[in-house]
Amino acid sequence: MKIPFLDGLSEFWESKHYPSHTVDSVDLQHFEGKWYEIAAFPTWFERNCRCTTSEYSYVGDHLEVRNTCRKDGKFSSMAAKAYPVPYTGNAQLKLQYLWPLKQDYWVVARDEEYRYMVIGHPSKKYLWLMAREPHIDDAIFDSMVEMARARGYQVERLQKTNQSCHE
């Protein structure tokens, strides 16, 4: 018997073989710091969130991750670890919120100065547009959307993130 919630959860966490659509490499030290979620595919775990950020700290062989959002008038956060997948130039990571489960977390686009990036999942069911500032120029946003579209994501599903807490 299949339990729908568990089936969906296992699909989210399960590793499968997908063709790579990531950048060639990521310098994890440049990846460090605070990133603001500009837009994302809606997910159950971010329901009712606004002012969503992710903060990354490079610690030896992995990144410490703290995701924060404002939900129901309070800030809520979750910690995780992101481990680079060998031989991917650090562009593919395994994100772990709960041991032993790890989720694919791929850097599918980024600019040279690490001001913005597009994070996805190989199944293309999850997508986040991230930037170093809470608000970005429309031309940069459109460029990020086009990068995601070119890699096969259904960008029509993107919803802009309310970042009014950071004004």
Cα-to-chain-centroid distance, residue 32: 14
Q: Output the CA–CA distances (angstroms, integers) from residue 36 to 1, 11, 64, 86, 129, in the order listed.
A: 40, 26, 16, 27, 8
Q: Which pLDDT band, with edges at 50, 70 and 90, does 72 fall under?
A: confident
pLDDT tens digit sequence for 92-141: 999 988 777 788 989 999 999 999 999 999 999 999 999 999 999 999 99
pTM across the whole model: 0.85
pLDDT of the residue at 67:
92
Give which of 50, 118, 130, 64 is closest to 95, Cα–Cα: 64
Residue 166 · residue 36 · CB < 8 Å: yes
- Residue 161 to residue 90: CA distance in whole angstroms: 26
Tokens 């919803």 label which residue? 159
Are 32 and 57 spatial neighbours (Cβ–Cβ below 8 Å)?
A: yes
What is the reported pLDDT for 20? 61
pLDDT tens digits along 9-41: 444 444 444 456 899 999 999 989 999 999 999
| CB-facing half-sphere around the CA of 70: CA atoms within 13 A | 10
